[in-house]
Chain A
Amino acid sequence: MVTTLQQPVTPRRSELAVIDCDIHPALRSPKALHPYLSQRWRDHRDTIGDRGFGGSYYPRANPNAARTDAWPPNGLPPGSDLDFTRYQLLDAWDLDFGVLQPLLGAGALRNHEYAAALSRAINDWQIAEWLDPEPRLRSGLVVPYEAPELAVEEIERLGDHPGFVQVMLGIRTSEPIGRRKYWPMFEAAVAHDLPIGMHFGSQGGTPITGAGWPSMYLEDHAGMSTAFQAQVISLIYEGVFERFPRLKIVLIEGGFAWVPPLAWRLDAAWRKLGAEVPDVKRPPSEYFAEHIWLTTQPMEEPQRPEQFVQILEHAPWLQDRLMFSTDYPHWDFDAPNEALPKIKLPAGFPAKLMAENARQLYRLPARLGDSTSRATQSAS
C-alpha cells in the first residue's frame, strides 16, 4: 500500500475565490460501474471489455498519470476516493466548486450500444457517488458522441440534472467536430442550455496528428494543442455557430497561447477564401471570441513573464474566457496559488480567471455556506 505523509488540512484561502474546472474522478476498481450496468453490459465489460481505437498508447509520465502524492493512504487509485479528493483538493485549496471530467473512455468506444450503456452508467455513478454526496462538485455529462443520436438520448435523459454543467467529449473525434454528423448533439445541448466541453485526449481512429503517428508521450502531450486548434477551425468554418448561435464550447486542457495566432490566421484565410464557406458570415475571430471558453492548465509559461500579458492583448476576449483548472490528480497539476505569473495583470482579470468566468458560464451560485459571498467581494 502506498502511504503518503500529508500536510495538515488548513484551508489555503487565497485572496481570490477558486473554481477548478478540471478534476478527474477515477473508478475504485474495474467493477465499480457494475451496479449501474445491466447484466448484459456487465457481462460484456467482463468478457469483451472496452474496445476503442487501438494503437495509440503512449506510457504516461507516472502510473495513472497521477501526482505521486495523489494515491490515497487506503491504497485506492488516485482520484477514486471522494474523501481524499476533499482532503487534498476541495478542502486543501478551499475551492468554491469543482467540475469533474471522468476520463473513462466511454465516448469513443466502437460498439455504440455499449458506449451508450457505459455513458449512462458513468453518469449515474457520478450522481450517486460524487454529486449527491458533495455539493461543491459539478460534472460533465458523458455521452457516446460518435453516435450522436444516442448522445442526444443521454442529454435528454440527464441534461436537466443540476449536477451536470456541460456535455463532455474528447478532443480527438472520428471526424472534425464541426461536421454535420455531430449537429444533433449540439442541438440537444443548446436545448438544455449545456456547453459542450472537449477534453485533452481520446482518439477517433485516425493517426493522432495531421502527419501520422508520433513516437513519444511528450509529443502526444505537447502536441495536443494542435488537436484543439484543428477542432476550432472546424467549428468555425463549418458554420456551427451560425447554425447554433447559443452554442458554447469549452476547451479543456489544451492551452491558450495559440489562440491569437490562430484567430489571425482564421481571419486572414477567410478574407481570401471565404466564398467557399458562405455560412461563415462574420470574421472568424468574432465567433472565436463569443463561443469558445478555455481552461488554463497546463498554464502557459512564456519565456518572459510579461509576454503572458501580450497574449491577453492580442486576444482581449480571453480575459472573459479563461477558466482556472488544476487537472487533479494528474502529474501536471497546477496549484491555485502558483498558476498565475507573478507579474502585474489587468485589473479584475485574476478574479475572473480563478472563478468568476466559470461561475458565470456554468451558472454556479455564490460560494456555498458563506454568509457573505466572496464572489461579490472579488467583483467589487
Chain B
Amino acid sequence: MYLGQPVIDCDIHNAVPSVEALFPYLSEHWREYIRTSAFKGPVDTAYPPRAATTVAPGVTAPEGKPPGSSLELIQQDVLDPWDVEVGILNCAYAVDSLHNPDTAAAMSSAVNDWLVAEWLAREPRLRASMIVPTRVPEMAAREIDRIGDHPGFVQVLLPVRSEAPYGNRRYLPIFEAAARRDLVVSLQFGGTPGNPPTGSGWPSYYIEEYVGMAQIFQTQVLNMIVEGVFDRFADLRVALIEGGWTWLPSLMWRIDKDWKGLRREVPWNTRVPSAYIRERIRFSLQPMDEPPDPAHLLQVIAQLGSDDLLMFSTDYPHRHFPYTAPQQAIPSGLSETVRRKILSENARAFYKL
C-alpha cells in the first residue's frame, strides 16, 4: 500500500500484444484479410515505443511484447503494490487510424471482446474503457449498444485528437448511445485522425506533439460546452484522461469572460461555462506538470474551485513520476479530505463504482 490507503486508478494502459491475439474475436473474413494482407493491426501510436515517456523505468515488459500486454505483470506492477481497489484499463488501440470503417468496427469489437474475456473476466479489480470506430459515429453507437451494458465497461474511449471537435453535431450518436447505457465519455491522450495536431500545421518533433496535446484537450472542452453537449445530455459525464489539468484555471477564466460577451451565440448555455466543467468533467491526475514550488501546485488546485475534479491515476506504464518514489504520484501538502477524494472518492462517485 504505497499511499496509505487503497486507490482507484483511473488510467492503466493495457496493450494488445499482437493482431493475432485478437483472432479469436474476429470473424473468418477479417482473419483472412489480416493474414493475406500482412496487416499488423492499427499500429499508429501516440506513444513511440522507446520514447522516455512511453515506458517508465521499473516497468516490466513481457518478453518480446509491448508493456501492458500481460495481466500478470499489471497485477504485479500496479494492482498489488498500489493496493488498487478498482483500476480502469485504457487500451489505446488506434482504430481511429483505420479509414475503412468496417475494419475499424470489427477491430473495435474484437478488442472489446478481448478485454471482456482476457482481462475483466479474470481480474475483478479491473474495469475498462471500450474503444469505438469514431470516424463513423453511427457505427460507434452500435458498438456502444452492443456491449455497453457489460458491467465491466465504465466508459467510452475517444482519442482527444479528432477530425472535428467532439461537440460537433456529427458525433451526437455517440453521446446518445453513451447516455442510453449510462457510460462516461472519456477523451484520452493521442489519436491519429490525419489532420494536424495544431491550428498551424504539423510540428517537427514528438516532444511538441506531446506537450501540445494539452491544447487539444482545451479545444475539446471549449467545444463540447459551447456546442451544448452538456445541455443536451443532462446526465453526461466526461473524463479527460492524461491531458493534464494545471491549464484548467486559465481556460475557465478565458471561456467565462468570452461567454459574457458572446453568449447570444450559444443560447443553450444557461450557465457560465466553468459551471459545466465543475459539474460534469473530471481529470486524471497524471501528468501533473508540476511547478518547481509545490505551494504553487496547491494554489492551482485551489484555483480549480472544486475538490471534486481530480482522480488518481498511475498512467501505467507511462513515465511521469519515479516509480521508486510513489508518494510523488500525488501532490504533497493536501488536506486528508482532499487527498482521500483524489485517491478514491472522486472516481467512485463519478464512475458510480
On A, residues with C-beta under 8 Å from B are 61, 171-179, 204-219, 221-223, 225-227, 229-231, 233-234, 237-238, 255, 257-258, 260-262, 264-266, 268-270, 272-277, 298, 300-303, 307, 310, 313-314, 331-332
Are B200 and A258 within 8 A (Cβ)? no
Are A223 and B202 within 8 A (Cβ)? no
Are A212 and B211 within 8 A (Cβ)? no
A137 and B197 CA atoms in complex are apart in Å by: 38
> Which A-chain residue is minimally distant from B56 (CB atoms)?
A272
Are A227 and B266 within 8 A (Cβ)? no
Are A268 and B290 within 8 A (Cβ)? yes
| Residue interface bits B340-353, CB-to-A below 8 A is 1, else 0 | 00000000000000
Are A206 and B290 within 8 A (Cβ)? no
Are A260 and B291 within 8 A (Cβ)? yes
Tell me which residues across on chain B come within 8 A of A226, comparing CB atoms: 199, 215-216, 218-219
B303 within 8 A of A: yes
- Could you pull out 25 A-B pairs where Cβ atoms are within 8 angstroms? A173-B200, A173-B201, A178-B204, A206-B196, A210-B199, A211-B163, A211-B223, A214-B223, A218-B259, A219-B165, A222-B258, A223-B223, A226-B219, A229-B212, A230-B203, A230-B215, A234-B203, A234-B204, A255-B250, A260-B246, A261-B246, A276-B206, A298-B258, A303-B305, A331-B261
Tell whether A264 pairs with B290 under 8 Å between CB atoms, given A218-B259, A307-B303: yes
Choose one: B218, B244, B253; the contact of A302 (CB below 8 Å): B253
Tell me which residues across on chain B come within 8 A of A331, comparing CB atoms: 261
A298 and B257 CA atoms in complex are apart in Å by: 9
Tell whether A175 pairs with B303 under 8 Å between CB atoms, given A218-B258, A223-B222, A233-B212: no
How many residues from B make CB contacts under 8 Å with A? 70
| Residue interface bits B249-287, CB-to-A below 8 A is 1, else 0 | 111111111110111011000000010000000000001
The 4 A-B residue pairs with the shortest CB-CB distance, nearest first, are A257-B250, A261-B246, A212-B164, A230-B198
Are B250 and A258 within 8 A (Cβ)? yes
Tell me which residues across on chain A come within 8 A of B162, comparing CB atoms: 211-212
B226 within 8 A of A: yes
A237 → chain B closest CB, angstroms: 5
Choose one: A174, A298, A307; the contact of B200 (CB below 8 Å): A174
Are B296 and A212 within 8 A (Cβ)? no
Are A207 and B195 within 8 A (Cβ)? yes
B233 within 8 A of A: no
Choose one: B261, B265, B266, B291; the contact of A264 (CB below 8 Å): B291
B334 within 8 A of A: no
Choose one: A227, A262, A274, A332; the contact of B261 (CB below 8 Å): A332
Tell me which residues across on chain B come within 8 A of A266, comparing CB atoms: 211
Are A300 and B222 within 8 A (Cβ)? no
Are A211 and B164 within 8 A (Cβ)? yes
> Which B-chain residue is minimally distant from A331 (CB atoms)?
B261
For the A-B complex with A264-B246, A265-B214, A273-B53 known, give 17 more contacts whose Cβ atoms are closer than 8 Å: A61-B261, A206-B195, A206-B199, A210-B196, A210-B199, A222-B222, A223-B222, A230-B199, A230-B215, A234-B208, A265-B289, A269-B207, A272-B52, A273-B207, A276-B205, A307-B249, A314-B296
Tell me which residues across on chain B come within 8 A of A268, comparing CB atoms: 287, 289-290
| Residue interface bits B293-304, CB-to-A below 8 A is 1, else 0 | 000100110010
Tell me which residues across on chain A come within 8 A of B219, comparing CB atoms: 209-211, 214, 219, 223, 226
Tell whether A269 pairs with B210 under 8 Å between CB atoms, given A211-B220, A258-B247, A314-B299: yes
Tell me which residues across on chain A come within 8 A of B252, comparing CB atoms: 303
A300 and B258 CA atoms in complex are apart in Å by: 11
Tell me which residues across on chain B come within 8 A of A298, comparing CB atoms: 257-258
Tell whether A237 pairs with B223 under 8 Å between CB atoms, given A206-B195, A212-B163, A215-B167: no
Tell me which residues across on chain B come within 8 A of A205, comparing CB atoms: 201
B26 → chain A closest CB, angstroms: 30
Are B215 and A310 within 8 A (Cβ)? no
Tell me which residues across on chain A come within 8 A of B208, comparing CB atoms: 176, 233-234, 237
Tell me which residues across on chain A come within 8 A of B289, comparing CB atoms: 261, 264-265, 268
Tell me which residues across on chain A come within 8 A of B250, comparing CB atoms: 225, 255, 257-258, 261, 300
A217 and B226 CA atoms in complex are apart in Å by: 10
Tell me which residues across on chain A come within 8 A of B218, comparing CB atoms: 223, 225-226
Are A265 and B199 within 8 A (Cβ)? no
A173 and B274 CA atoms in complex are apart in Å by: 30
> Which B-chain residue is minimally distant from A332 (CB atoms)?
B261
Choose one: B204, B249, B319; the contact of A238 (CB below 8 Å): B204
Are A257 and B211 within 8 A (Cβ)? no
Tell me which residues across on chain A come within 8 A of B197, comparing CB atoms: 210
> Which A-chain residue is minimally distant from B160 (CB atoms)?
A211
A172 and B200 CA atoms in complex are apart in Å by: 5
B328 within 8 A of A: no
A218 and B264 CA atoms in complex are apart in Å by: 10
A197 → chain B closest CB, angstroms: 16
Tell me which residues across on chain B come within 8 A of A176, comparing CB atoms: 198, 200-204, 208
> Which A-chain residue is minimally distant from B196 (CB atoms)?
A206
> Which B-chain residue is minimally distant from A58 (CB atoms)?
B265
Are B200 and A314 within 8 A (Cβ)? no
Tell me which residues across on chain A come within 8 A of B205, comparing CB atoms: 237-238, 276-277
Tell me which residues across on chain B come within 8 A of A332, comparing CB atoms: 261
Tell me which residues across on chain A come within 8 A of B249, comparing CB atoms: 257, 302-303, 307
Choose one: B52, B200, B216; the contact of A206 (CB below 8 Å): B200
Tell me which residues across on chain B come within 8 A of A310, comparing CB atoms: 296, 299, 303
Tell me which residues across on chain A come within 8 A of B287, comparing CB atoms: 265, 268
A123 and B51 CA atoms in complex are apart in Å by: 47
B107 → chain A closest CB, angstroms: 22
Tell whether A225 pairs with B199 under 8 Å between CB atoms, given A233-B208, A269-B53, A307-B249: no
B18 → chain A closest CB, angstroms: 27
A208 and B299 CA atoms in complex are apart in Å by: 32
